[in-house]
Amino acid sequence: MKKVLAIIIIVIILLFASWYAIVYFATYSEGVRSGELIKFSNKGVVYKTWEGEISQGISGAQIFSFSVEGKNKEVIKKLEEFQGRYVKLKYKERFAAISWLGDTKYFIVDVEEEESPHFRK
């Protein structure tokens, strides 16, 4: 009985580890989105995650929500600096959201400030 229970526990652990490895390391898609950075915050009670939003339209009708991994300090610093400005975000999309990493499937890997197409000189 103990041997069967041990095998079941090992199988469950291996299944969870496989699922986590696929979700964390495999990328569903990669891309770039641009918009005005309207929100960026560190939130959570048990797990503190960095979450943000950009507005991709004039009226704010299209909102793109994203997360940033806590280990990506350079991106976090840039996003705090670019608050309220027009930015271009390079992201990777994972297969699923992982609650202790962020609320969304979209994780920002790079950010740069851009000139707004609405207020060109």
In angstroms, the CA 88 to CA 118 distance is 14
Q: Where are the domains of the chain?
A: 28-113
Task: Give pLDDT tens digits for 106-120.
Answer: 999 999 998 877 766
In angstroms, the CA 112 to CA 80 distance is 12
Q: Show the 3-state SS of 3-50.
A: HHHHHHHHHHHHHHHHHHHHHHHCCCEEEEEEEEEEEEEEECCCCCEE
Predicted structure pTM score: 0.81
Say which amino acid occupies 59.
S
Task: Give pLDDT tens digits for 12-46.
Answer: 999 999 988 888 888 899 999 999 999 999 998 88
Task: Give pLDDT tens digits for 42-86.
Answer: 998 888 999 999 998 776 678 999 999 989 999 999 999 999 899
pLDDT at 120: 62
CATH number of 28-113: 2.40.50.140
